[in-house]
Amino acid sequence: MFACMETKNRKVLILLCLLLPAVSYAQGTSARLDSLFKSVAAKDMFNGNVLVAQQGKILYRKSFGYADLERKKLNNVNTGFQLASLSKVFTAIAVLQLYEQGKLRLDETFRTYIPKFPYQEITIRQLLSHTSGLSDQDLAAAFTAFENTTGRRPITTTWWQSWRPPM
């Protein structure tokens, strides 16, 4: 998603992500948020969905721009986006919040929480710091273990469903 954006637009998007909590807290109204995002979207500097929530209550939700520019198909709340490595940050924050709440320990193995995970010695800390040695080719087996343990698919793009490690 970011690779196709001009450097200027990427900087504006990053700045918005950093300033959004301050704007929503200080000004506190969906009208102000709407004004901000409409202004940026009107300049073709933002294309996507925005969801601002506080303590489980949705304060603002809106879609901007096109999911398919050639066909003029607008984004909506169900539009999927390729987020690349951006989701790693959100995952790390969620895991560290669980750690702060005492719901997990960073030096426990991942198998403590997903017993069928195929790699016995990998810890939560190693996964967060990318020091587990787990390669991309190993992820298909990990996703299968997750699905077998939880009875649901991990949130991934559909290409993982048919992916197999190279022979």
Q: How many residues does the chain have?
A: 167
Closest CA to 64 of 46, 51, 79, 80: 46
The Cα–Cα gap between 108 and 123 comes to 5
- φ, ψ for residue 155 (rounded to 5)? -75, 105
Beta bridge partners of 129: none
Angle 11-14-16 (CA atoms, 0-180°, nearest 5)? 110
Closest CA to 84 of 5, 20, 143, 146: 5
Q: Which stretch of DSSP H or E encloses residue 58?
A: strand 57-64
User: Annotated catalytic residue: which of 39, 85, 87, 135?
Assistant: 85
Residue 85 is among the residues annotated as catalytic for this protein? yes
Give catalytic residues, as residue numbers: 85
